[in-house]
Amino acid sequence: MGFKITIIGGGSSTFTPQLMRLFVESELLQDSTICLMDIDEHRLNVMFQLSRRLIEKTNSSLKVETTTNRVESLTDADFVITAIAVGGLKAWEYDIEIPAKYGVYMSVCDSVGPGGIMRALRHVPVLVEMVKELEEVSPKAWVFNYTNPVPTNCMAMVKNSKIKVIGLCTCSSIPSNPNYLAEMVGVEPENILTPAPAAGINHCAAILSLKLKDGRDAFQLIKERSSNPIVKLFLENYGVLPYCWSHWTEFFPFLCDLEEEYKGRLQGLRMKFGLVVHDMNEEQKRVAKWEKLVEDMAIGVRDLSLDILPSGEAILVVDIIEALVENKNEVYVVNTLN
């Protein structure tokens, strides 16, 4: 059964390889066409070469195509995945440093506060324009948005179109991840009841209750075991288990204190709770290193196999697409309007 699955931001060297691994591993989605769309032709070509090599290596029947034309990529699409960064790392740097000049210190600046607002103002117009185009060329398509701030972007798309939009994050898998939860509790993964009920918004969501299969309350065990001050604070005072907790601090100003003196540059400074403010110099090094690795794999300088690529374990979109296609009765944590 073949579908057209479009990735807006398909030139990403960190996200697209994980997605392509998941697609080639999906038996249900074989014979589908993966359309990579990006405004950066070089990155797009690298991802095309990598995807084509991966398809050949795994004997997959997937097809891959590329375009820099967004409307073309959306035409006849069944599913659309959005993962873009308007303004790139330079804009992200402004999101961190401009609020800092006025005494607002945040470690990531992609969700709330002045940095989150600026990020939303860059992305909302682009994403709203995209769903309006989608209404014209593929009105029945589903959109899965990974672009931060996820709730704001999804709300804007839903409020301004009739397109079905779901917000996702790599954190979304945690309530269904027995390995992650078992490590917090101190038991074997098979003893955890999942998926755990969760609520909240992206980057500020919490598990409401967590039980072991023998009936014990896992929250009590986490309280006794955890040394994480954020986890303990919210478990003891609110009775919920925060996940993606490093993002949680940005939603509570009293948790956003520096441990180093601010001298005009916030990036790289230590904050409370072991957090370090994102540093675009380090981020650029990380991206460049991964881009070089991916490009070498794409042109055949390095070997390419599923084992080399990131597992994509935290990326749920392919599982959700499969569930929609087969009308499975499964539970996933997503961002959507109440």
pLDDT tens-digit readout, 81-101: 999 999 999 999 999 999 999
- According to DSSP, residue 319 is labeled H
Kindly state whether residue 338 falls inside one of the protein's structural domains: no
Are both 262 and 292 inside the same structural domain? no
Are both 301 and 157 inside the same structural domain? yes
pLDDT over 80 at 305, yes or no: no
Are both 240 and 321 inside the same structural domain? no
Are both 106 and 132 inside the same structural domain? yes
Are both 202 and 156 inside the same structural domain? no
Stretch 117-128: mean pLDDT: 98
Note the pLDDT of residue 285.
Answer: 93
Kindly state whether residue 335 falls inside one of the protein's structural domains: no
pLDDT over 90 at 150, yes or no: yes
Give the pLDDT band (50/70/90) at residue 299. Answer: confident
Stretch 283-289: mean pLDDT: 91
Note the pLDDT of residue 303.
Answer: 82
Burial of 249-274, coded b for 16+ CB within 10 Å and e otherwise, reads: bbbeeebbebeeeeeeebbebebebe
Are both 108 and 253 inside the same structural domain? no
Q: How far apart are the C-alpha atoms of 194 and 126, rounded to whole Å? A: 36
Kindly state whether residue 334 falls inside one of the protein's structural domains: no
Stretch 97-113: mean pLDDT: 96
> Given 235, 254, 274, which residue is the final one in a domain?
274
In order, the DSSP letters of 211-278 are: BBTTS-BHHHHHHHH---HHHHHHHHHHS-EESSHHHHGGG-GGG--BSS--SS--TT-BBGGG-B--
Q: How far apart are the C-alpha atoms of 24 and 327, rounded to whole Å? A: 21
Note the pLDDT of residue 104.
Answer: 96
Are both 300 and 231 inside the same structural domain? no
Kindly state whether residue 333 falls inside one of the protein's structural domains: no
Kindly state whether residue 332 falls inside one of the protein's structural domains: no
pLDDT over 90 at 293, yes or no: no
Pairing of strands 79-82, 198-201: unpaired
pLDDT over 80 at 309, yes or no: no
Are both 119 and 196 inside the same structural domain? no
Q: Who wins on pLDDT, 143 or 224?
A: 143
Are both 144 and 63 inside the same structural domain? yes
Are both 208 and 68 inside the same structural domain? no
Are both 207 and 237 inside the same structural domain? yes
pLDDT over 80 at 39, yes or no: yes
Note the pLDDT of residue 35.
Answer: 99
Give, for 179, the enclosing helix (H) or strand (E): helix 178-185
Lowest mean pLDDT among 35-49, 127-141, 170-184, 303-317: 303-317
Are both 76 and 131 inside the same structural domain? yes
The domain tally of the chain equals 2
- Give me the phi and psi of 242, to 5 degrees please: -70, 140
What percent of the chain stands above pLDDT 90?
A: 81
| Per-residue pLDDT tens digits for 229-285 | 889 899 999 999 999 888 889 999 888 999 999 999 999 999 998 899 999 999 999
Give the CATH number, domain containing residue 116: 3.90.1820.10
Note the pLDDT of residue 334.
Answer: 93
Note the pLDDT of residue 85.
Answer: 96
The range of the structural domain enclosing residue 132 comes to: 4-169+279-326
pTM above 0.75, yes or no: yes
